[in-house]
Amino acid sequence: MKDVEYSNDIGEAEDSSKEESITEAEESTTNPTISQRKIIHKANISANVKELTVAQEKITEKVSKYNGYIVESNNFQESDSRSHGRMVVRVPEEHFETFLSEAEGQVTKVLERNITGEDVTEQYVDLESRLKSKRAVEARLLVFMESAEKTEDLLKISADLAKVQEEIEVIVGKIKYLDNQTSFSTIELNFYEDRVIVPSIENKELNTWEKTKKQFVQSVNALLMIGSWIIVFLLGNLPVLLVIGIVSFLSIWFIRKRRKDKE
């Protein structure tokens, strides 16, 4: 097997397949009746709900109803009066609008509604064209491998075949990803529950006897505090008070004595 003939044959097979694929791709992207459009739909809904757990249960039921699945579900306690629940779900594309309508029917107020659609038809058709081209090269390489007589030729063909098959796997993976993204729509739901907090009144605040006992104890404590202060004051200042008492007593005694002497 000559290298030039081998390379030319493989190149012709790939070029021929590319030309056919390009023609089919142009027809598919310009004529929607030939190939269904491939669109990735996504939605993001933020809304207030009366009861967070109830709303999430309803959404779970509807996801199951339309043969979808839940990707993520989380709850957050943002404050004592506000709870936040986040759900990411996927539903079949054909039920996208219906599911959104029913989901919004579970809320009290829609805060934000964002819907996007990405047309990947051209990208999808291009991948299919590349896959067809690579398949043709793969088939041609398999034919060469069967007819190869030299070990050198067999090794070269095997290396080329492995490279082409690796490229095919990558393309197939991308096609499967687009199939998944276009057949199931992704919806993110953010629910917020606002609760009015009413301060609770403890039972002891409503019990007259408990309030009376509390006031009595406070009064006794006040008297004990005053008594303690007086005792501390008297004992702490006893020397000074004794001097003041003696001086006062002598002063009074002297004054009274002088009055008696005058009389």
pLDDT in tens, 169-203: 999 999 999 999 999 999 999 999 977 665 555 55
Lowest mean pLDDT, pick from 33-37, 101-105, 125-129, 255-259: 33-37
Greater pLDDT, 254 or 189: 189
Tell me what the mean pLDDT of segment 58-65 comes to. Answer: 96
Q: At 133, which amino acid appears?
A: S
Q: At 193, which amino acid appears?
A: E
Spatial distance between the Cα atoms of 104 and 24, rounded to a whole number of angstroms: 41
Greater pLDDT, 77 or 131: 131
Q: Tell me 50's DSSP state.
A: S
What is the β-pairing status of strands 82-92 and 109-119? unpaired
Q: What's the confidence (pLDDT) of residue 131?
A: 96
Band (pLDDT 50/70/90 cuts) for residue 238 is confident
Element spanning 213, H or E: helix 208-236
Show the DSSP H helices in 43-107 as ranges.
52-65, 96-104
Greater pLDDT, 226 or 263: 226
Q: What's the confidence (pLDDT) of residue 176?
A: 96
Is a pLDDT exceeding 50 seen at residue 216?
yes
Q: What's the confidence (pLDDT) of residue 33?
A: 42
Spatial distance between the Cα atoms of 34 and 36, rounded to a whole number of angstroms: 7
Q: Write down the domain spans for the chain.
A: 1-198, 203-262
Lowest mean pLDDT, pick from 43-52, 168-177, 244-253: 244-253
Q: Yes or no: say if 43 and 156 are a contact pair by the CB < 8 Å rule.
A: no
Lowest mean pLDDT, pick from 42-51, 175-184, 244-253: 244-253
Residue 183, number of CB atoms within 10 A of its CB:
13
- Which residue in the block uniquely carries the two structure tokens 């142009």? 26
